[in-house]
Amino acid sequence: MLSSEDNELLCRVGRGTPMGELLRHYWMPCLPSTELPVPDGPPKKVRLLGENLVAFRDTQGRVGLLPANCPHRGASLFFGRNEECGLRCSYHGWKWDVTGRCVDMPNEPEESTFKDKVRARAYPCRDVNGVIWTYMGPRETAPPFPAFEISTLPAEQVYPPLMMLEECNWVQALEGDIDSSHIDFVHAKLSPESKQRGTYNLDRRPRLEVLPTDYGACYSARRRWDTDGLYWHRITQFIMPFFSMIAASDPHIVSARAWVPLDDNYNLQFVMRGRLDRPVTEEERRQIRNPFAAWGGYVEATSDPRSRFYTAANIHNDFKQDRELQKELILGIPFLGNLQDRAMTETMGPIYDRTQEHLGTTDAMVIFMRRRLIDAAKALRDEGAVPVNVEDPNLCRVRPASALLPEGESWITATEKARQSDAGVPIAWVPFV
């Protein structure tokens, strides 16, 4: 349980809030690159940390991210013309480049130097392996770009990001990813014989152990695996401020998942995955662009960022829960992306009142993660302390792991190398679904 003050501090992301300021120190995914497919194409509305922005790809292919309101008198730059290395406001023609410089002011006297004095607050962007990232923080020069494996692999080995909009606060969604216990229920099938995709574990009382790290934390959820005394350690990473890496279930895939706050009440999930062994095929790319096809796919988006990657099965139709399917799957919603998780995390309400909860032993990592974020936001607010993984781009070069170990063997020692991207050892994985 949290006090209502800490709950507010944890969840709110607007400029000037403690957590909003912490988040702004990090590079964040903001759009799949395919949303800005061509130079000089149509701009896109973006909403991020409660700010309304406009993204565009200029003539040279560079991505710009500007406030939606033109610095002149506030008309929406979404209606602007993307032409010759800048976005020209349609109201009076002022033109802005990707760095926020005003490069043309065609309604002022020719001799005027006013355009050199006006600037838009442009956020720097990087377009890496299919994902556009941005930095919205206070520094003149952005911190180093995080060296996640999915960002440093050759582009042909990286899948397009799997996208899902979620109608709730980002912390609720993130909590779901570091809460191993729920896989035995919300993702489970009732019988191992069922053909439905679902988990089936005999031991549904995992023991959690959290290992604090300099970038966040990782934890093992330990379950009895068989009668020979083996235990399954499902080891998940949490990387500040909102990245997770789920225990590996494939010997070739590395991943990072981000829960990016559009504002206090909406977040956008990016599931970013790459292969260590081969390029991604065209067929695989095609499939991942419509991951929810079997349950209605996405609703057609309007220009509103809160309609993009929004599934047809959603909170307004109870995620199309099927009571017949519930005879095989606990939830009666198929295991597609994080759709099942959403039925749990969105129905808590936009921002769950954590003064009302009752936490058990299996919530150990959720408790740790919240405390880590709250402490970091307070340290920044009170002492100006910036978390170390803002400065060191290599701290995110870690992997989740999954391992079968005898009782009493330390998962921390046994998976020490497997949890590092660059230790030169294979991915530690166990098939579990």
Q: Mark 367-376 as b/e (b = at least 16 C-beta within 10 Å).
A: ebbbebbbeb
Question: Is there binding between residue 73 and ligand FES (CB under 6 A)?
Answer: yes
Partner from Fe ion, ligand FES, none contacting 341, C-beta within 5 to 8 A by type:
Fe ion
Residue among 149 and 341 whose Cβ is closer to Fe ion: 341
Question: Is there binding between residue 118 and ligand FES (CB under 6 A)?
Answer: no
Q: Which of 166, 152, 163, 176 is nearest to 236 (CA)?
A: 176
Question: Is there binding between residue 92 and ligand FES (CB under 6 A)?
Answer: yes
Token pair belonging to 74: 């506030």
Question: Is there binding between residue 346 and Fe ion (CB under 5 A)?
Answer: no
Phi, psi angle pair for 170, to nearest 5°: -60, -30
- CB of 235 closer than 8 Å to CB of 411: yes
Binding ligand FES (rule: CB under 6 A), the pick from 6, 40, 52, 75 is 75
Question: Is there binding between residue 341 and Fe ion (CB under 5 A)?
Answer: yes
The region of 87-95, 123-131, 261-269, 382-390 touching ligand FES under the rule CB under 6 A is 87-95
Place of tokens 């607007």: 14
Question: Is there binding between residue 89 and ligand FES (CB under 6 A)?
Answer: yes
Binding ligand FES (rule: CB under 6 A), the pick from 31, 36, 70, 418 is 70
The region of 92-100, 226-234, 302-310, 369-377 touching ligand FES under the rule CB under 6 A is 92-100
Question: Is there binding between residue 91 and ligand FES (CB under 6 A)?
Answer: yes
- CB of 282 closer than 8 Å to CB of 295: no
One-letter amino acid at 245 equals M
- CB of 427 closer than 8 Å to CB of 276: yes
Residue among 83 and 214 whose Cβ is closer to ligand FES: 83
The region of 49-57, 85-93, 241-249, 253-261 touching ligand FES under the rule CB under 6 A is 85-93
Please say whether the dihedral angle defined by the alpha carbons of residues 87, 89, 93 and 97, taken in this order, is positive or negative: negative
Please say whether the dihedral angle defined by the alpha carbons of residues 73, 261, 367 and 357, taken in this order, is positive or negative: positive
Distance CA 289, CA 295 (A): 14
Phi, psi angle pair for 267, to nearest 5°: -135, 155
Partner from Fe ion, ligand FES, none contacting 51, C-beta within 5 to 8 A by type:
none
Q: Give contact residues for ligand FES (rule: CB under 6 A).
A: 70, 72-75, 89, 91-94
Q: Give contact residues for Fe ion (rule: CB under 5 A).
A: 341
